[in-house]
Structure 1
Amino acid sequence: MSLTQQWLRDKAASYSAGDRVYADIDAALTRFPALRPKLDVYIFDDGRSHLLLCVHGLLPINYRNASYNIPVAIWITREYPRHPPIVYVVPSTDLLVKASRSVDVSGRCNLEYMQHWERKSEGCNLSALLDAMQDQFSREPPLYAKPKNSLLAPVPSPGPSSYKPQPSLPTTTPPILSPSPPVLNTTRPALPPKPGQPIPAHIPSPASRSPRATPTISPPPLPPLPPHLSPPAPPPLPPLPNGPFHPHQYNASPSATHVTPPPPPPAILAAPLPVHAPPVNNLISASVVQSPPPPPPLPPPPPPPLTVAQPPAQPPYSPPRPPLPSVPPPNLLDEDTPDVLHTDVSPAPPRPPNPETLRLHSQVHAKLTSEFSSLSHAMALDAERLRAHQTDLLAGEPAIRDEMARLEAVRDVCRNVADRTRRTVEQAESNVAELRRKGEPEVDELVCATSIVHDQLINLVAEDNAIEDTIYHLHRALNTGRIDLEKFLRATRALAEEQFMKRALIEKIQVGLGAATN
């Protein structure tokens, strides 16, 4: 016995039908060398956990004249062989389960052979189950290869990754984004800045030293600045908030202040808000919009080498347009021109849901859907098994009634025989009682004939036999020397004469009785 067989016999001893479990698993391992046994904890759908034997490995199949190996795991339950094993298809990382009539989305198998097992378990075993799995999987494989693009890409949206800005000055774009990666790496992707907006005051750029740099350049390419770093457009910008920061904000020539590219469509700017803006960024951007005058809400400036002020930039922005005192600060994410000021009084957009919460919701929904599917499948199997039991019970009722009728007929016959036997026994007991009442008869009364002649014949035969015995004993006495020869001859002669006469009389009586009979 090999080590595997010895280990398997030791572990199968914990089952109620340990010998059957060992024999079936050993036969299955012999037939399918790619399978191996193990002992592991199995958790049922209701939360129960048991330490069960599991036969796992690769099951070879033949699909469309090609050989494949299906990874399976077969759990031997404690009720084996009265209940079928629990069969799972275990896909690898590059495979997915193909749900079908015999395999659910979790990989659990419910073959027709297992349904027969539940009804009639006497003729089922593990090797036959593996043969049925081979046949079913060869006709309908339970797995398929995972597509290469199985990892879903994010949905395209007019956010930083999909926004296509209008053509702008190519020479000014890279310097604007050069200091921004440290800030962008710490936040989620957000909306791109509006075309025609100035460079933020806290993000100086080498482009500010170029005479072609303007505060109204087009939005930068990927990746854009987060919402809390996007400054307001020049038309609605209040004069007080950014007054002290004019030396540090811009450096533009008088001719460059008139360069204003057309604004992008409103739909492109409004759509990314609920998709890419996380709650944290929304709070920061909201604080900037509602309280633009104080500088503290802005993020901390970059390192000192990048915050060099450019004095020539002060004159172009010294007389900014003052806003109406009664109008609240504009929404920097949705507006960039004075012709849309009538929308300032509209309520703020709803707070977008947290992507992490949405992901958890989708995972919980998928888990509940899977559990509900498994539970529905299990309930359907239980209902089908109960219906099969009901059908068997209904079909067995006529057979039971026929058997009852036959047994009732046999009972009637047995009762008749018992009555006859009882009457015979009673008659015999009465006869025995009568004989005991009469007492023991004499021997002469028992040995007697029906007529005198027959009585005489009986007596003659008895006397003849007695004479014969006497002559025999005289002969023995002569041989032993108890009597001499003369006495023997004299006694024998006398007995012989008497015997001759009796035999002659017997013959005469027999002749007479024979003639009378004829």
Structure 2
Amino acid sequence: MMSQQTLEHPEALVLNNMTVYPNPTNPDLNNTRLWLRNALANVPYLHQDRVFRDVDATLAVFKALIPKTDIYAHDDGTVEVLLCLYGTIPITFRSTPYNIPVAFWIPTDYPMVPPIAFVVPTSNMLVKKSQHVDVSGRCSHPYLEHWNPPPHNEESNLVSLCSLLQNIFGQNPPVYTRPTSQPSLPAPPPPPPLLQQPVNGIQQHSPVLRAYSPTPPPLPPPPPYQPSSNMNVNRPRSHSSTIPPVLPISRYATTSPLPTRSSSLHPQISNESQLSVPSILDTPPLPIITPSPAPLPTTQNPELVKLQSMVYDKVKHKCEEYVQKTSPELNRNMSIGEHLNQDQERIIEERKQLIEKDARIKEKTEILRGKIAEIDKLIEQAKNMPDVSVDDILCGTTIVYNQLFDLIAEDNAIEDATYYLGKALSSEKIDLNSYMKNIRTLAREQFMRRALIQKVRRQAGLDKINKP
């Protein structure tokens, strides 16, 4: 479904069945972005800004991917020029790093439709069919089948797809090494120097052994999927390794290699150490090879490994379904538990406040009951007391004082009567003759009362008290 044609001048943008590459020798990301802008301008993408943003973010995260424009052939036979990200994505399988060769094709309707992902094996690799990778290397996943384009969902993008496939390939690698026959290793007396062996046009250091056992038996075929041409050595004294990216293989034409990072591995072993072949299926190392013929190390049955992998995937799928099914209920129960804990603390605080208020109310109630008892006692005493006239209560200490009290009361009464007679005359309730007659009578009586008051005051000696 894929083909490519490499140009001698990557800066030139040529379509019509021509492949356009950025300059891979220039590590500057700005030049890559400039090339990407120019490439998108020549490809009819509906959302060029979104394509540029997602591709730029993907290149920033997965630095082993390289952009290009190439011809893509659809299943119905139609072909068109699309932007492609090819290279490798790093994974870690059983604590060992590997690089998986992939290619991501960006449709012209992106992000309304998902990218097209392929696993592109090298010449020494084979695709391992699995739940998410078919025999042709095309990747499938519910994430792609239920692609939800923006603005409904911003999480459907190229970076998320690459990260998802990275996690999936880390659990079940999609490729394995092609079985090849290997000759027996001779045992040269002197240690050989470091050798360099080109792989797909890329210079790569091969691992070198300081010494070999004499005439070991032929090694068994390598188990499925090994890191790119690197070999493990028992008890290495020192080593440094970088995994090289593997270039994709086109289905219609070959691709000229681009300069990329190389990998090297320089293990050093003693004369007693023997060579072991790395295996991602067999965790224990191979037994030591002795000069005498020895039986080949036992390896697991591929069918059994496949069955175990299928069982593992099924159990994992069931566990994920169970977790997804129970997570909402668990989260809801945890939320209810948090609310109950908060309510319990609030109830404890309110109960404490109510206890304090109850103690204060009981104290005030006791005080109130004591006061009520005192009032009831005073009421009983008042009921037992005899009735007393007001005149008996308001009286002087002597007869003279009682006479003076009565005279002053009569004088004030006459004064009030005179006042109300004046108001009655003003309101014409009485005539002038009646008013004058009553006034003369009241004035005469008032004169007599006041004269008697002065006489009583002189006899009682009250005039001396008022004088300064």
Q: TM-score, normalised by structure 1?
A: 0.28
Which of structures 1 and 2 has the larger relative contact order (alpha carbons within 8 angstroms, sep 6+)? 2
* More helix as a share of residues: 1
Q: Which has the larger radius of gyration?
A: 1
Q: TM-score, normalised by structure 2?
A: 0.31
